[in-house]
């Protein structure tokens, strides 16, 4: 089959949801246009932005970084080493190799050095790993952004991620979460940085094809902690629908984002989703949790923005400290 | 495993969504309580009601009739013979046999005799069979109810049907359909009878188990015309989620029905979904289509309630008549 755009080269990527098939070069154009259109439509980024791109080593975030650099944005990469045996090392390796190939050195935060490697932290506080991970990531997104004078943080969530999250929120009618789910979370005075998801219009398959054809080497394994994540169940269910009815995902998400949708407030009106009470955080598996409303103040312990006395990151650290000292006390008895 | 209720008999039905397993007798109690609770909560039926139960020969409608009779409602069955080769005969046989076992004779409408057997009608007007079938059924529900002085029409839609429909409406943000989807569609002056779905709280599996254990003999084959129906795709997707997270379906549907849900008006406020423009009817696969608003008037051709000059049933018949006469004209040339 010939490419639907140039009609010369052999098509390499079949896109039933767009009734199209492209050769690699035309697909690159198509993909980048999808991303830039997604940025333009929702005004995710402005020309003067300094963008902190959160890179996990997976395809989505590396492809995001790649496209943003190619589009001329000023970017730096942030890699958070979660301290997950083997997986974190392999991920870091891919991030460093990719960054080096583009003449970059990513900012690296090592959770083991910070005293909160995810597996041990989750065990200590008896929480789902994904919840702990979300709390910790949100904290470092804001902290690194503030330290490095970044104006915005970008994550690699794609259309499949966003629609899986939307489906989960709808199945349980999580009205607060629905009101705030959006590819743009505006920043706020006091250290809450703006967060954007520029890949919201492109699917997982499209992102994987882009990474593969561009020769970007990424970790293909899923995080071993997220194996049972409910979002995977929703993603699979939507995949089956998409296979039978191509284009359903983008119609679903764009219809949801429509400003007339009574389930959503506009991003302007939405309270900043940031600091979630721990109990609430247990129910979300994405990097944002739903938060309290009002204006953030400084955490009494660390000065980070929070809606409570101390921020959830400090409360998490405190719980881990207590759990460790109890264990030590038991051990020395 | 012992029954969770009587703790004596062997459990025969496992219900993970209710964290329960019941012996046949306790399951009958449970199932009937689910149905009566569904009727009570949404005030679907009142003691003096004369209920026209639409029976297709499948498990859902026969089980519905069975439960309503056992609960003491005054009921008659309506069987619409769709004129589908083989399938309609086998369905009719099951309906007549079940009715006879309860000392009843169902009202039978034969679409072939009415000049609109579904397969030919759909071919003539080049519409999906399910759309034509919906239009025709709606017409006869109202007509037979009026002729027989029934106060309400009951259909066998279960929780799986309703949630599949809801998912489809959400995936495409069919706001009009979402506003009006409800197990109770109030009647209206001018011949639009009230319609209710008393099985909205019970799943397909539960209904099948009830029918099987009660020894009700029903057609197990799907309607051969509905093989490609999109609702089956949504149903399958939800089944996979339900398997992994039992109880999701009922949470999904009850959350949707919550009066505070901004996507729904209360059934009082909802315009009567009845007469749908043909183009609209193409998109729905259920017995109700979404309709125009306002007060219904009498169809200029047949006197049936409608929001347009002639009702969609008469327009359908007119299109079939034209298609047939064109075919005859071609044949005689």
Using a CB-CB cut-off of 8 Å, the residues of chain B touching A263 are 262-263
State the pLDDT at residue B54. Answer: 97
**Count, residues in chain B:** 333
Nearest to A185 by CA among A264, A78, A74, A279: A264
Using a CB-CB cut-off of 8 Å, the residues of chain B touching A255 are 172-173
State the pLDDT at residue B276. Answer: 35
Confidence check: pLDDT of A161 > 90 = yes
Mean pLDDT along residues A249-259: 96
- Across the interface, whether the CB atoms of B245 and A230 are under 8 A apart is answered yes
Confidence check: pLDDT of A325 > 50 = yes
State the pLDDT at residue A293. Answer: 58
Confidence check: pLDDT of B266 > 70 = no
Cβ pair A151, A194 in contact under 8 A? yes
Query: Which residue has better confidence, B140 or B264?
Result: B140
Using a CB-CB cut-off of 8 Å, the residues of chain A touching B173 are 251-252, 255-256, 258, 261
Contacts of A21 (CB under 8 A, 6+ apart): A1, A3, A4, A11, A13, A14, A15
Mutate to test the interface with A, among B178, B237, B238 (most CBs of A within 10 A): B237
State the pLDDT at residue B293. Answer: 58
Mean pLDDT along residues B131-142: 91
pLDDT tens per residue, range B212-232: 999 999 999 888 887 667 889
Mean pLDDT along residues A120-136: 87
Cβ pair A311, A305 in contact under 8 A? yes
What residues does each domain of chain B span?
Answer: 13-332
Confidence check: pLDDT of B316 > 80 = yes
**Burial of A249 from C-beta contacts in 10 A (0-12 / 13-18 / 19+):** buried
CATH top-level class for B13-332?
alpha beta
The interface predicted TM-score of the complex, written ipTM, equals: 0.86
Confidence check: pLDDT of B271 > 50 = no
State the pLDDT at residue A126. Answer: 85
- Across the interface, whether the CB atoms of A244 and B233 are under 8 A apart is answered yes
Spacing of C-alpha B198 from chain mean position: 10
Using a CB-CB cut-off of 8 Å, the residues of chain A touching B258 are 173
Contacts of B318 (CB under 8 A, 6+ apart): B310
Angstroms from A13 CA to nearest CA on chain B: 25
Query: Which residue has better confidence, A24 or B321?
Result: A24
Angstroms from A259 CA to nearest CA on chain B: 13
Angstroms from B88 CA to nearest CA on chain A: 28
Beta-bridge partners for B15: B20
Spacing of C-alpha B96 from chain mean position: 19
Q: Element (H or E) spanning A22, and its range? A: strand A20-22
Mean pLDDT along residues B279-305: 59
Confidence check: pLDDT of A291 > 70 = no
Confidence check: pLDDT of A286 > 70 = no
Where residue B333 falls among pLDDT bands split at 50, 70, 90? Answer: low
pLDDT tens per residue, range A170-212: 999 999 999 999 999 999 887 789 999 999 999 999 999 999 9
pLDDT tens per residue, range A136-150: 999 999 999 999 999
Confidence check: pLDDT of A248 > 50 = yes
pLDDT tens per residue, range B45-92: 998 999 999 999 999 999 999 999 999 999 999 999 999 999 999 999
Using a CB-CB cut-off of 8 Å, the residues of chain A touching B238 are 237
Q: Which runs of E-coded beta strand occur in chain A?
A: 13-15, 20-22, 50-54, 74-81, 107-110, 152-154, 184-185, 194-196, 297-298, 305-306
For the domain covering A44-294, report its CATH number: 3.40.50.620
State the pLDDT at residue B145. Answer: 96
The chain A residues in contact with chain B (CB within 8 A) are 170-173, 230, 233-234, 236-238, 240-241, 244-245, 248, 251-252, 255-256, 258, 261-263
């Amino acid at each position: 089959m010939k490419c639907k755009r140039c009609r010369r080269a052999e098509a390499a990527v079949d896109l039933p949801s767009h009734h199209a098939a492209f050769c690699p070069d035309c697909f690159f154009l198509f993909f980048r246009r999808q991303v830039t259109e997604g940025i333009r439509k929702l005004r995710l980024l402005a020309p003067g932005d300094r963008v902190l791109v959160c890179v996990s080593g997976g395809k989505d975030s590396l492809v995001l970084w790649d496209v943003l650099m190619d589009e001329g944005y000023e970017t730096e990469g942030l890699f958070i080493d979660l301290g997950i045996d083997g997986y974190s090392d392999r991920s870091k390796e891919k991030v460093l190799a990719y960054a080096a190939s583009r003449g970059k050195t990513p900012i690296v935060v090592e959770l083991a050095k910070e005293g909160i490697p995810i597996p041990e932290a989750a065990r200590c506080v008896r929480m789902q790993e994904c919840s702990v991970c979300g709390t910790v990531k949100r904290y470092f997104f804001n902290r690194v952004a503030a330290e490095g004078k970044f104006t915005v943080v970008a994550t690699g969530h794609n259309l499949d991620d966003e629609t899986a999250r939307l489906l989960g929120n709808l199945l349980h009618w999580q009205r607060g979460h629905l009101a705030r789910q959006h590819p743009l979370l505006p920043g706020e005075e006091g250290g809450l940085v703006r967060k954007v998801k520029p890949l919201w219009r492109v699917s997982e398959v499209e992102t994987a094809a882009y990474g593969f054809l561009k020769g970007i080497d990424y970790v293909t394994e899923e995080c071993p902690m997220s194996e049972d994540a409910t979002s995977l169940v929703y993603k699979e269910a939507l995949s089956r629908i998409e296979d039978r009815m191509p284009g359903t995902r983008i119609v679903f998400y764009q219809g949801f984002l429509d400003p007339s949708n009574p389930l959503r407030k506009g991003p302007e009106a939405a309270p900043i989703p940031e600091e979630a009470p721990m109990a609430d955080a247990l129910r979300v598996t994405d990097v944002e949790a739903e938060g309290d409303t009002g204006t953030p103040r400084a955490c009494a312990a660390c000065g980070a923005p929070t809606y409570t006395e101390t921020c959830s990151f400090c409360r998490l650290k405190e719980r881990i400290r207590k759990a460790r000292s109890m264990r030590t006390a038991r051990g020395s008895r």
